[in-house]
Structure 1
Amino acid sequence: MELLGSTQMATYTRPKTSHFLPAISTMASSYRTHQPLSAAANQHVSTPWRTNTYFHTGSAVPTLSSVPRDTLDLVRAKTTLFPSNRTALTARYTPDDWYKSNQSNYRESESSRNSAERLRRDTLRLMQDKEQLTRRTQETTSRNLGERLNDITFWRAELSHEVDNMVTEIAALVEVKRRLERALAETESPLQVAQECLYHREKRMSIDLVHDDVEKDLIREVETIKSCQERMRRHLDRAVAQLAANRAAQHELERDLSDKVTAQRIDDRCHHLRNTSDGISFYRGIDRLDPSLSLPDTWSKFTDDNILHSQSQRASSHKLRDDIEVLLNTTSNEMWKQFNSVNVAFTSRISETADAKNSLQTHLAKTLQEIFQTEMLIESLKRAIKDKESPLKVAQTRLEERTRRPNVELCRDYPYHRLVGEVREIEDTMLCLRERLMEAEGTLQTLVKAKVALEHDLSIKANSLFLDQEKCMSMRKTFPSTPRLVGYS
């Protein structure tokens, strides 16, 4: 403890360790700015420090040269005897200074309190305002997140509805495509039958190898079936391409829907975050990061474009299904119509061939009968000619015997004339019979040739009937039914 009347001295030195930090007071006065230490203080100089507020230096300080030696000895003696008076020569205050110092301290204290109170009031008001602003901002953000969730929910429902419609349309188009494939496969059998009929009819012989109505209708049937197949293949290619487009649109919808589900889950979690929620943390600089790829308008337009594209593809798919239905019915009717036309032509041609065959058989029977009669006639002519030989021999023998009559008996009498006439008559008769025999034999040859021609033509007709009736019509008894031609199994 210092003696009464002594002033407190303050000595400041730099700490030896560089890691020392002075304690910071929580008082407001601890934040006041102090004067920096002088260079002498930094060099650990123990110089007394006095504030100007409490100490005033004397106006006249005597020097050692101006003070007498006796006086100096007396002062030294007093200083030695009274240590409290060691600064009497350097500083001394008056009561007025003391009073002014107190008043100054009072005013400074009151000013500090007023400033602190004003700062406290302003700070409390600022804290309340910022709290309300933060709460309103957070409520606005939560409301925006809720609206965003409503938008996502709306577009998610639209996407789900469109995906369901697209899945239904794809299933319907797949079924129609399957029916078209079955119908196309069903046309192979009628085409093969028609082509085999044409192939078999090429085996007709001779005069029956004609380009008749049956052949024309068969060629037309082959062309009709091939035309139907070509249209079916084109629609089948369109169906395959449309299925690919539908699945691509479905993929885009499902990807967009998956993104919407993920975004909805994230925004829903963000919407339910509170100041007391778990998992919240600081992410410095996240507000300066903008990974956005779209704006609200482009975001909604992207989903709307996907839905419109899907609806367009569904409309095209529905139109294609209608076209395929019309095609199946049209091709079925065309093939059935041509099939019936060919059958009618076959029936008519078979009837004509059968009639021709019956006529040929009738003519052949008559020809055979005539041949038989002609042969009998020839035999009769031969017998008649042979029968004429004996009378001719008798007449000629008589003439030859009468040539042996002697002398005047060799008379050209009436028997001679009759014998000569008889011989000539018999020869003429035999000549006539021989001519008639040759004519009969010629007629017989003609009849035989006609018989051969009739028999050959009859065999041709029989072959044609066999081909048309047995070969072709037996194959044409089986033709796909209308349900099978339109793709129903």
Structure 2
Amino acid sequence: MELIGSTRTSTYARPKTSHFLPAISTMASSYRNTMNPGANLWKTSSYFRNCCNVPTSASMQRDNLELVRANTMFYPSNRTILSTRFTPEEWYKSNQNNYRESESSRKSAERLRRDTIRLMQDKEQLTRRTQENSSKNIGERLNNIVFWKSELTHEIENMITEIAALTEVKRRLERALAETEGPLQVSQECLYHREKRMSIDLVHDDVEKDLMKEVEVIRSCQERMRRHLDRAIAQLASNRAAQHELERDMSDKVTAQRIDDRCHHLRNTSDGIGYYRGIERLDPSLSLPESWSKFTDDNILLSQSQRAASHKLRDEIEVLLNTTSNEMWNQFNSVNVAFTNRISETSDAKNSLHTHLAKTLQGIFQTEMLIESLKKALRDKQSPLKVAQTRLEERTRRPNIELCRDNPHHSLVNEVREIEDTIQKLQERLMEAESTLQILVKTKVTLEHDLSVKANSLFLEQEKCMSLRKSFPSMPRLVGYT
């Protein structure tokens, strides 16, 4: 047997029965004389009656012996007969056996008591250590929950900020897309108004080319904006789904933390504790620590990936807004420059037409004066022709030999021919002057028509188109700012 206070756990031989105490059969020798079956007959009959409810043959025999002993007290002859049953050595030996059995039983009982006390102390310490270990594990679990809660809180805040930023960029994109409708309508109306040009001014000039290109640029910008707007809507849905998963995980962790915190503060003296038989055999768990941590980590990683995609989309939308606004403004300036150049060319042409019309009118006036002069000259040639022809006719009446082809005759003939030739030339020149006058009049009509065409073109481009293009939105509005 080991010393009391030893650091090692005491051991003893336990009986093979299911009881801690030794069997009754092993203890009977302490109270029975093995040499004489009647050694325990000193006990009164009341003891056996109290110990045994059902009388047996042994009890009946003991009662008879007690009756015999009682009888010997009154009958000396009988007492003398029974007094020689045991010797002093037997009596002494019986006492010594009883002493030894008593000492052995007391030692066994003392050893059992010490071992039991030590067992109870060890089990108490083991129970306390186990409870402390359980509390420590719950505390560590609470620390893990607090850690993941902080991670979830941080990620939820970042996701809320990202959703707000993406929503603002989406709103700007919607405003920018709405702002492009005005310039598109202006460009289309300019093309429509320029279809009202007349005659030769219906030319496929640089203005029309730039206007058509402007319409294509605006429609291309609108198409890209719509695509990015659809992506922004889808990304917002993904962000909100990730936020929902984070918030649901956060709600579960808040509930788990409240439950574990209540469990962590439970003590042996706490209220509300009770027996729940068989609860240790019930395992309602749905995850392991690894899968538990991985679930939250996956949610955070998914949220981070969605935030990265959202941030990338926001950058793309910012670049798109700046690119589209620059493209539309550059094309707008190109169209305005083309309009300015075309208006300048039309104004110059109109001024030139005015100059040519004035000169044409002056030519018409001069040609009319020339025609009048030619007509007067023709009238003036009639009298000299009449005089010369009359002279020739009168000289034909000279008689006989006086009909001489003299110098006067030759002179008169030459005069008549010269006057007729002059009249013919003057008539030809009159015809040329009249033809020139017709040409000048036709030119005047053409110039006046062209002037009206140019005036109409200038009105359409200056008053109609350029006045409409003054409503083109500014650069901040094209990028979505109010």
Fold similarity call, TM over 0.5? yes
* Alignment TM-score, normalising by the size of structure 2: 0.77
Equivalent of 2:245 in 213, 229, 252: 252
Is 2:467 the partner of 1:485?
Answer: no
1:306 CA drift (Å): 0.9
Is 2:229 the partner of 1:236?
Answer: yes
* Alignment TM-score, normalising by the size of structure 1: 0.76
CA distance in 2, matches of 1:300, 1:270: 21
Q: Which amino acid in structure 1 is aligned with residue 278 of structure 2?
A: G
Q: 1:199 to 1:108 in 2, by over 3 A?
A: farther
Matched position secondary structure for 2:58:
coil
Is 2:218 the partner of 1:225?
Answer: yes
- 2:57 maps to what in 1? 50
- 2:260 maps to what in 1? 267
Residues 310-348 of structure 1, C-alpha deviations (whole Å, 9 max, x = no match): 111112212222222222222222222222222122111
Q: Does the CA-based 8 Å contact 1:56-1:93 persist in structure 2?
A: no
Residues 179-221 of structure 1, C-alpha deviations (whole Å, 9 max, x = no match): 1111121222122212222222222222222222222222222
CA distance in 1, matches of 2:473, 2:163: 28
Is 2:454 the partner of 1:461?
Answer: yes
Q: Map of 1:389-468 to 2, 5 A cutoff?
A: 389-403=382-396, 414-468=407-461
- 1:475 maps to what in 2? 468
CA distance in 2, matches of 1:96, 1:221: 141
CA distance in 2, matches of 1:112, 1:413: 208
CA distance in 2, matches of 1:461, 1:440: 30
Q: Which amino acid in structure 2 is aligned with residue 251 of structure 1?
A: H
Q: Which moved more, 1:355-364 or 1:476-485?
A: 476-485
Q: Which amino acid in structure 2 is aligned with residue 386 of structure 1?
A: R
Q: 1:93 to 1:302 in 2, by over 3 A?
A: farther
Q: Which moved more, 1:468-477 or 1:49-58?
A: 49-58
Equivalent of 2:281 in 264, 269, 288: 288
Q: Which amino acid in structure 2 is aligned with residue 448 of structure 1?
A: V
Aligned length: 419
CA distance in 2, matches of 1:216, 1:486: 26
CA distance in 2, matches of 1:364, 1:329: 51
Q: 1:48 to 1:203 in 2, by over 3 A?
A: closer
- 1:79 maps to what in 2? none
Residues 408-436 of structure 1, C-alpha deviations (whole Å, 9 max, x = no match): 66665555444444333332222211111
1:253 CA drift (Å): 0.6
CA distance in 1, matches of 2:417, 2:55: 206
What's the C-alpha RMSD, in Å, of the aligned pairs?
3.5
Is 2:155 the partner of 1:196?
Answer: no
CA distance in 2, matches of 1:206, 1:422: 56
1:114 CA drift (Å): 6.6
CA distance in 1, matches of 2:316, 2:100: 100
1:401 CA drift (Å): 4.8
Q: Map of 1:261-410 to 2, 5 A cutoff?
A: 261-403=254-396
CA distance in 2, matches of 1:53, 1:379: 190
CA distance in 1, matches of 2:171, 2:355: 58
Matched position secondary structure for 2:285:
coil
Q: Which amino acid in structure 2 is aligned with residue 174 of structure 1?
A: T
1:99 CA drift (Å): 7.2
CA distance in 2, matches of 1:186, 1:478: 11
Equivalent of 1:129 in 115, 122, 130: 122
CA distance in 2, matches of 1:356, 1:314: 62
CA distance in 2, matches of 1:209, 1:188: 27
1:147 CA drift (Å): 0.5
CA distance in 2, matches of 1:377, 1:104: 186
CA distance in 2, matches of 1:131, 1:282: 19
Matched position secondary structure for 1:279:
coil
CA distance in 2, matches of 1:139, 1:328: 63
Q: Which moved more, 1:218-227 or 1:434-443?
A: 218-227
CA distance in 2, matches of 1:105, 1:266: 65
Q: Does the CA-based 8 Å contact 1:173-1:243 persist in structure 2?
A: yes
Q: 1:55 to 1:107 in 2, by over 3 A?
A: farther
Q: 1:93 to 1:447 in 2, by over 3 A?
A: farther
Q: Which amino acid in structure 2 is aligned with residue 466 of structure 1?
A: F
Q: Which moved more, 1:405-414 or 1:241-250?
A: 405-414
Q: Which runs of 5+ in 1 are unaligned?
A: 1-27, 33-46, 59-83
1:103 CA drift (Å): 7.1
- 1:142 maps to what in 2? 135
Higher helix share: 2
Q: Which moved more, 1:184-193 or 1:370-379?
A: 184-193
CA distance in 2, matches of 1:271, 1:437: 130
Q: Which runs of 5+ in 2 are unaligned?
A: 1-20, 26-53, 66-73
CA distance in 2, matches of 1:54, 1:112: 29
CA distance in 1, matches of 2:112, 2:155: 62
